[in-house]
Structure 1
Amino acid sequence: MVFYFTSNISGTPYTIYMGLDKHENEDLIKYGWPEDVWFHVDKLSSAHVYLRLKPSEDLDSVPYEVIQDCAQLVKANSIQGNKLNNIQMVYTFWSNLKKTGDMAVGQVGFHNSKEVRLIKVEKRINDVVNRLNKTKVENFPDLREAKEDRDRQERNEAKKIMKEQQEKEKQEILKMKQEKALRSYDSLFDDVEMKTNANNDDDSDDFM
């Protein structure tokens, strides 16, 4: 089971989701999307919360209020973190998560620690948590199929862009050939005209 939430605090809807338990977190880690941002309480046990960005959107363009929503949801779903004030959340893109065979279920590391960001949460804000919980939807998605569909669409889009680029290059080459042929024709026409003028001069001399 996956829990889905919607953050509308910024005026633009963002999807936030998390798994039921650590075993489901394994599937979320395995079948995450490049657009997903992973959130967790720093150095404490908590839910794995994901924020799904728009394609090609970067973290710096995400409204701070949305990041705060994710952080509050993580805190509310941490047995230890929910009781403490002034705790830190870590967040990074899904692609930066590292999972090795010797790690425990639900445990992850990072490929590059420099790409991990921190946000401090002073206390739980019930208004935020309640607002998000009102949007909560439980679902049983086929995460693998969803990931394959997403990747397939990306490949098709890449093929479309490549085809359009190839067609553009083809048209540019054709245009260059046509312009070259036109210049050659103009040059040929000039040569013929020059010869014709020269012949006219000879005729004029004969009449004199």
Structure 2
Amino acid sequence: MVFYFKARPDSGDYTIFMGLDKHENEELIKYGFIEDIWGFDPTSSPTKVEVHAIPMRLGNKVNNVDVVYTPWQNLKKTASMEVGQVGFHNPKMVRTVRVEKRINEIVNRLNKTKVERKPDLKAEREAVNAAERAERKQHLREKKRREDLEKLDKERQADLRSYKNLMVAEKMTSNKEIASTNKSLQELEEDFM
């Protein structure tokens, strides 16, 4: 079971994901997204906070709690770690915020937006990956098309500036042909002009 909360609707539409326990959080860790920010009390399970971090621990009944925040891609999971346990690739990307006192109005506001779901996180991640791949392919096709059009345009411009089409045998007239027309020199000059 995963709990979903809407946070800070006044400054943007942010979603907080929270696993029921460390097993659900393990799935959230495994199928996270690059834009995710993770926030958790180091003494408990991590909570996935999408896009924006809220400096508080849901359901925490104590004061003076440190909340650790880091981007999802900074989470480090090794085979020797317990379920729900994570480390960090780069400690410089980790921020700790001390929550001095639980603010009930924030917790109550978040709890009003609480939704419980049993998502297929793997399928959601695969769908997003497929959409991203399709978008990249579309951009590559568009880029290739633009490059091909630019190449054709450059070739056309080069042909226009080139003299190769001026001296084509089919467009040339010999002096014998001109003489056979029985035109006077003045008529030939007028035709030329």
TM-score range, shorter chain: 0.7 to 0.9
Q: Match of 1:51? A: 49
Q: Distance in 2 between matches of 1:119 and 1:51?
A: 14
CA displacement at 1:187 relative to structure 2: 8.6
**CA–CA distance in 1 between the matches of 2:163 and 2:12?**
59
TM-score (norm 2): 0.80
Please list, as runs of the form range in 1=range in 2, the aligned pairs for 1:37-76 lying within 5 A after superposition.
37-41=37-41, 43-45=42-44, 47-53=45-51, 67=53, 70-72=54-56, 74=57, 76=58
1:192-203 alignment, distance < 5 Å: none
Shift of 1:114: 1.2
Alpha-carbon deviation of 1:120?
A: 2.5
Hey, what's the Cα distance between the residues in 1 that align with 2:46 and 2:129?
A: 23
With a CA cutoff of 8 Å and minimum separation of 6, indicate the structure with the bigger relative contact order.
1
- Report 1:9-48 matches (<5 A): 9-41=9-41, 43-45=42-44, 47-48=45-46
User: Which of 74, 77, 89 is residue 59 of structure 2 equivalent to?
Assistant: 77
Residue identity (%): 48
Deviation at 1:77, TM superposition (A): 3.3
Partner of 2:3: 3
- Correspondence for 2:146 among 168, 174, 192: 168
SS in 1 for 2:162: helix
Specify the code of the residue in structure 2 equivalent to 1:168: R
Give the SS at the match of 1:83: coil
Structure possessing the higher radius of gyration over alpha carbons: 2
Residue ranges of structure 2 left out of the alignment (5+ in a row): 172-184, 187-193
Unaligned runs of 5+ in 1: 54-61, 193-202
Q: 1:155 pairs with 133, 141, 155, which one? A: 133
Number of aligned pairs?
170
CA distance in 1, matches of 2:67, 2:125: 26
The TM-score normalised by the length of structure 1 is 0.75
- Closer, same or farther: CA 114–11 of 1 in aligned 2, 3 Å: closer
Shift of 1:15: 1.1
Q: Which residue is equivalent to 1:196? A: none
Q: Say if 2:6 and 2:114, in contact at 8 Å, map to a contact too.
A: yes
In 2, distance between residues paired with 1:156 and 1:118? 38
2:28 is paired with a residue of what secondary structure? helix
Root mean square deviation, CA, Å: 2.2
Q: Give the Cα separation in 2 of the matches to 1:183 and 1:98.
A: 60
Larger relative helix fraction: 1
